[in-house]
Structure 1
């Protein structure tokens, strides 16, 4: 028997009413035309919309062991990114982990693939584990009960990440032009990001009865994930 996670003192949710998956998709599709060409947030947004559409098709296809819980997780997961979009829209700085992508969205010398990976780093290493914990609280369950579906959703993220790399990487050409970009993007691995995110879930789960330590780890996660996301946006041109 697994323990439930019902403490509220360490709630890490965004404080907004969660959307349904259909509402998330509608919101993301509405936002898409507003991103101009070359906008780094727009590059990530389109990639993440593809992920969300893929998850939506899997919810009714028997892909997930617990599709109802996964729908809650998917909506809470997306809500964290949309909160950053909303903050930026009213002139407020997003969370530290999202700030590099929003600040450097039109930075010179930054390749679109860097923007996509920076957004993925923030969303996977910061938002995903916290969304798992938010879902556990909302449903009164232990986050470990979502592990199988967590791995399945990560598999979908990896699938789309591979497609994005193939689409955005430059065609083979002069080695001098490719080396800086390949060096920057080579420091990030979706497999390592997924492993780190699940380790964060387990660490925070273990600290659920120690709110000060829990909150300190969440705050540190925000900053350290932001540092990696900024490093991925190092200009290469």
Structure 2
């Protein structure tokens, strides 16, 4: 297992190096590199209440995404939340912003709650002890998500109010996904000693997040070469 945020960044950059620039996973991966660099900056600045637990959370959170990518590359079945992005990553009718948001949806909607519990087990913390730093990680995600929307949304010359992309991406909210992730973590924490109920909830969470991801990846037309600014996010 990776032991620090630097190792996480190395793994992500390795993923990026092995993928075509326009691949849907590559689009999300570049976003996630930016998020992780922001978390590392905040860790170095002492912005977290519990630096050890926050670093553990960042590593375990990233590990779930990297495991899904590795499973897919090896022909193993990835979690349901990641399968829409992994299967539709080369679809010509899906815009880069959709790939980015579908990846954020899978990672925040499913992986974040489980990473919180992983961190509690690894560090001996109780769930309430992680809430403040959970919020700080969420703040870093929000900063990058705003940038992502600005960079990957086609410019006003090609994007009109009637463009289905406008309505599709406007229907998903990172703030709501973060709130749902914390609620899921609380539920799973309460069920952590009830194996059957715990596993059923994890399975239902995975399936539900996967359904949202599939909707986010509804093809809305060819990628715009003139207005898209996909190159602005880089690792």
- TM-score in terms of structure 2 length: 0.90
Deviation at 1:177, TM superposition (A): 7.7
1:215 — aligned with what?
Answer: 199
Report the Cα offset of residue 174 of structure 1.
5.6
Partner of 1:195: 179
Evaluate the alpha carbon distance shift between residue 212 and residue 51 of structure 1 in structure 2; reply closer, same or farther with a 3 A threshold: same
**In 2, distance between residues paired with 1:177 and 1:34?**
36
Cα offsets for 1:164-205 (capped at 9, x unmatched): 000011111366585200111111001100110000011111
**Closer, same or farther in 2 for the Cα pair 1:104/1:210, shift >3 Å?**
same
> 1:30 Cα shift?
2.1
Q: Does residue 225 of the first structure (1) align with residue 225 of the second (2)?
A: no
- Secondary structure at the aligned position of 2:76 is classed as coil
| Counterpart contact for 2:2–2:8, Cα < 8 Å | no
> How far off is 1:92 after superposition?
2.0
Match of 2:30 in 1: 46
Match of 1:61 among 45, 61, 67: 45
State whether residues 94 and 217 of structure 2, in contact with CA within 8 Å, keep that contact through their aligned partners in structure 1. yes
SS in 1 for 2:163: helix
SS in 1 for 2:187: helix
- Verify: 1:129 aligned to 2:106, yes or no: no
1:1-237 matches, cutoff 5 A: 17-173=1-157, 179-237=163-221
Contact 1:96–1:223 under 8 Å retained in 2: yes
Shift of 1:91: 2.0
1:178–1:105 CA distance, 2 compared to 1 (3 A): farther
1:20–1:75 contact (8 Å) kept in structure 2: yes
Distance in 2, matches of 1:94 and 1:208, equals: 23
Task: Check the 8 A contact 1:136/1:142 in 2, yes or no.
Answer: yes
Structure 1 residues 170 and 136, CA, compared in 2 at 3 Å: closer, same or farther?
A: same
Are the equivalent residues in 2 in contact too, given 1:43–1:116 (CA < 8 A)? yes
Q: Are 1:100 and 1:230, in contact at CA under 8 Å, matched by a contact in 2?
A: yes
Q: Supply the RMSD in Å over aligned alpha carbons.
A: 1.4
Q: Is the 8 A contact 2:61 2:111 kept in 1?
A: yes
Count of matched residue positions in the alignment of Structure 1 and Structure 2 = 221
Distance 1:175 1:63 in 2: 38
Q: Distance in 2 between matches of 1:192 and 1:102?
A: 24
Change (3 A) 1:178 1:204: same
Q: Tell me, which stretches of 5 or more residues in structure 2 are unaligned? A: 222-235
